[in-house]
Structure 1
Amino acid sequence: MDQRAVYRRVLGVRGEDLAAVFLERAGMRVLDRNWRVPAGEIDIVARDGRTLVVAEVKTRTSARFGHPLDALTPARRFRLRRLGMAWAARHRVPARPLRVDGVGVLVVGGRVFVTHERGVG
């Protein structure tokens, strides 16, 4: 793995850690992280009251190419909803209600900006 790929991986992990703390401080309970199956991956699975939340985390060091959450395409949102239902079935928990959230983490000059959008998909 080249140095650039390692940097992106470390940045992604840091962003997911920051997002998990942010969601917990917002009153959610993180149930799982980085759940992978052949169909894809869920960054964070959380519970917000009765609602099962599937959160996609996008981390960037610049807004040069837009806000981090601009990367959440309709196809990605649809896939996350299906993955959330698969997670619920695998863990034998109710998948309804299910919400897909986006968490954008922007790390600029040592400062961190977190944006949480509920119900993006």
Structure 2
Amino acid sequence: MDNKVLGNKGEQAAATYLTQHGYRICARNFRVPVGEIDIIAERDDVLAFVEVKTRRGLRCGFPAQAVTYYKQQKIIQTARWYLRQRHLEDRCLCRFDVIEVYVHSGDKWEIRHIPGAFET
């Protein structure tokens, strides 16, 4: 399985996880000129902008470590676009989450959700 397919499956697993945990998926792969957000989901009047990182192992470190300061800034800018487009500035609570998806042998997936992984 190549990295693109792995990433897509990881995002689907993350979306399923969020739905099973009471989130409503508002958007997936939201793209604007400044960047992309994998999943935007809402629960309990909080809008979560979620970056999904899928890995086969820990050889390169924990998946959340790949969400660098530069990547965080791109996600924050993209979130601002989303909020402006929907006239939600100052109207809802927001946070930035990371979901780590680990692929184990066979078809076993492990998910680690990190709410509030970084802040603006």
Structure 2 length normalisation: TM-score?
Answer: 0.89
Q: Is 1:108 equivalent to 2:99 in the alignment?
A: no
Question: Higher mean Cα deviation, 86-95 or 6-15?
Answer: 86-95
Does the Cα contact within 8 Å between 2:57 and 2:102 map onto a contact in 1?
yes
1:66-103, CA deviations, whole angstroms, 9 ceiling, x for partnerless residues?
A: 11111111222232122112112112335631100000
Computed over aligned residues only, the root mean square deviation of the Cα atoms, in angstroms, reads: 1.5
Out of 41, 45, 48, the position equivalent to 2:40 is 45
Amino acid at match of 2:20: R
Q: List structure 1 segments (4+ residues) > 6 angstroms apart after TM superposition.
A: none
Out of 20, 25, 29, the position equivalent to 2:15 is 20
Aligned to 1:3: none
Structure 1 gaps of 5+ residues are: 1-5
Does the Cα contact within 8 Å between 2:32 and 2:81 map onto a contact in 1?
no
Q: Give distance in 1, aligned partners of 2:94 and 2:54.
A: 23
Q: Which has the higher helix share?
A: 1
Q: Is 1:89 equivalent to 2:77 in the alignment?
A: no
Identity of aligned residues (%): 34
Q: Give distance in 2, aligned partners of 1:51 and 1:94.
A: 13
Aligned to 1:117: 114
Structure 2 gaps of 5+ residues are: none
Q: Is 1:58 equivalent to 2:64 in the alignment?
A: no
Q: Give distance in 2, aligned partners of 1:78 and 1:9.
A: 23
Q: Is 1:67 equivalent to 2:62 in the alignment?
A: yes
Amino acid at match of 1:53: A
